[in-house]
């Protein structure tokens, strides 16, 4: 547990150090920083937890528990579906994944500032400036890939547990929805209410899992997008120093291709997961 906490703080410190290096470059080139404001994140967190407590309150209002002690009600509120831990996990995951995503996006914005075909433009870009800028972008990209690796090492077990229990909950809920039927017409109304709440719970879990999968897929897309830029250049027409930078960047990308977000190494989390589950 201590090791995982250490990974967490190393990841946070790494993000802070990365921003210190990236922000001056963005400012000098007048590139917009692509990140949500604190206000938007606060609204997101408030909304998701208001939904959770509202859902629990509505469920208890429609299907109240029999008279019981206060502590049992608290346990029911905290540890019965919908689980508050799911909301904590999804909100924290979305926060960190979004921050990784926008940083890869901003690195791609940096690369677009280079002159077309990496040809020297004496009014804006000299040969030395192009080579220096390419190297700086390459090193920032490498550093961000390392942060991605730290995220996987630190949050991989949590992602594995979240996906495992979410799938189990889904299958169990679907089983009960299909197999259990009202014994009499008097219980039909209660049965319909239970079906509606179970459906909402299942939809919520699917949305949570898809949110993580889509975010990770977007990160992978932005991370590898730089390859399309590198392959678009005519290497034969470039200066030797520029060729060297492109070659180093391509080699770096081939190595960083192994640094994908996984559920503790059991499977890569991306849209391929959705396709594999659908096929299954």
- Give the Cα separation of 83 and 78 in Å (integer): 7
pLDDT at 276 over 70: no
The CB density around residue 25, as the number of other CB atoms within 10 Å, is 17
The SS3 assignment for 121 reads: strand
Worst-scoring range by mean pLDDT, 16-30, 53-67, 108-122, 189-203?
A: 53-67
pTM for this entry = 0.80
262 bridge partner residues: 268
Name the range with the highest mean pLDDT among 34-38, 90-94, 139-143.
139-143
Q: Which residues contact 134 (CB under 8 A, 6 or more apart)?
A: 114, 118, 242, 245, 246, 249
- Give the Cα separation of 247 and 252 in Å (integer): 9
Domain that includes residue 50, residue range: 4-279
- Per-residue pLDDT tens digits for 222-269: 888 888 888 888 887 788 888 898 888 888 887 765 556 655 455 566
Q: How many structural domains are present in the chain?
A: 1
b/e per residue 247-274 (b: at least 16 CB within 10 A): eebeebbeebeebbbbbeeeeebbeebe
Q: What is the mean pLDDT of residues 140-163?
A: 84
């Amino acid at each position: 547990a201590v090791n995982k906490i250490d990974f967490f703080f190393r990841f946070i410190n790494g993000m802070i150090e990365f921003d210190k290096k990236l922000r001056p470059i963005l400012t000098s080139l007048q590139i917009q920083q692509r990140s949500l404001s604190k206000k938007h994140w606060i609204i997101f967190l408030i909304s998701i937890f208001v939904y959770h407590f509202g859902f629990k309150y509505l469920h208890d209002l429609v299907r109240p528990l029999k008279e019981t002690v206060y502590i049992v009600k608290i346990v029911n509120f905290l540890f019965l579906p919908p689980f508050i831990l799911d909301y904590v996990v999804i909100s924290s995951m979305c926060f960190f994944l979004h921050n990784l995503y926008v940083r890869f996006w901003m690195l791609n914005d940096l690369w677009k500032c280079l002159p077309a075909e990496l040809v020297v433009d004496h009014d804006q870009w000299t040969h030395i400036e192009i080579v220096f800028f390419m190297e700086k972008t390459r090193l920032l990209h490498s550093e961000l890939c390392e942060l991605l690796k730290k995220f996987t090492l630190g949050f991989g077990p949590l992602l594995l547990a979240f996906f495992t229990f979410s799938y189990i909950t889904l299958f169990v809920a679907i089983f009960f929805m299909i197999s259990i039927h009202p014994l009499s017409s008097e219980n039909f109304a209660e049965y319909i209410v239970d079906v509606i709440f179970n459906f909402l719970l299942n939809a919520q879990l699917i949305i949570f899992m898809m949110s993580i999968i889509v975010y990770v897929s977007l990160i992978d897309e932005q991370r590898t997008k730089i390859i399309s830029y590198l392959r678009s250049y005519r290497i034969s027409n470039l200066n030797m120093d520029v060729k060297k930078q492109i070659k180093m960047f391509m080699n770096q990308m081939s190595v960083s291709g192994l640094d994908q977000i996984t559920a503790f190494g059991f499977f890569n989390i991306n849209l391929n997961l959705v396709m594999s589950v659908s096929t299954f």
